Amino acid sequence: MTDVKEQWICIKFCFKLGKTAWKHTILKEAFGDNALGQMQTYEWFKHFQNGWVSVDDEKLLDDFRPEPQANMWQKFEIEGIVHKEFVPPGQMANRKFYYDVLRRMRENVRRKRADKWRTNYWALHHDNTPAHASLVLRQFMASTNTTVFPHPPYSLDLAPCNFLLFSKMQLILKGQRFDSIEAIQTESQKVTKTLTRNYFQKCFRS
């Protein structure tokens, strides 16, 4: 709980400074895999917006519920999802794991988007979290001739997963409570299956 309270202090600090866009990124940089999830970060930020004063407030402590770790990677382009997978329970979402994710993703691009693979007419866009920006990953991209779009720091609003996919999931799953990781995975996949080609096209036009 001490680690969580430290993160609440950081969130309150962001609130005091009037910062909104980069608060979760800072938590990830400071606390790594122990950082609060993005949705929880926004929830606690709203607590302070709504008048909470102290991070020791008993109601705030009572309201805290550990967030199940059901991280999901999704890679998509204008025609739809190319690759998706969940992080296995107990697996850290570190650079080594992401390296393996990218290898599997490239194989799916080869199978599902053969024309683009053959002409190398595709590029990767991901944010610049430590796992994504590591030297090992950069060397892998260079050795495989994978074009990577640059992503400015503290710019969650420019990551398609954030303004397209996660926002859709939040809208549909908001207010629900899940008793298991499997339940989260099942419901989130139901959401992705509702996304049409037109939806992805609208995302990229935006």
- Contact (Cβ atoms closer than 8 angstroms) between residue 193 and residue 185: no
Between CA 187 and CA 110 the distance in angstroms is: 28
What's the pLDDT tens digit per position in 48-101?
666 665 555 444 444 433 333 446 667 788 888 899 888 887 777 788 888 999
Between CA 195 and CA 55 the distance in angstroms is: 39
pTM higher than 0.85 for the full model? no
- What pLDDT, on the 0 to 100 scale, is given for residue 54? 59
User: Interhelix angle for 2-17 vs 23-31, to 10°?
Assistant: 150
Instruction: Count Cβ neighbours within 10 Å for each residue of 25-35 and write b for 16 or more, e otherwise.
Output: bbbbeeeeeeb
User: Interhelix angle for 135-143 vs 95-112, to 10°?
Assistant: 20
Domains defined along the chain, listed by start: 2-63 (no CATH), 72-205 (3.30.420.10)
Write down the mean pLDDT value for the chain: 77
- C-alpha distances (whole Å) from 192 to each of 12, 74, 81 are 33, 10, 8
Between CA 174 and CA 117 the distance in angstroms is: 37
Between CA 154 and CA 167 the distance in angstroms is: 18
What's the pLDDT tens digit per position in 109-153?
999 999 999 999 999 988 877 778 788 888 999 999 999 988 887
Q: Which neighbouring-strand residues pair with 72?
A: 86
Question: How open is the CA angle 182-186-189, to the nearest 5 degrees?
Answer: 135
Compute the average pLDDT of residues 22-26: 66
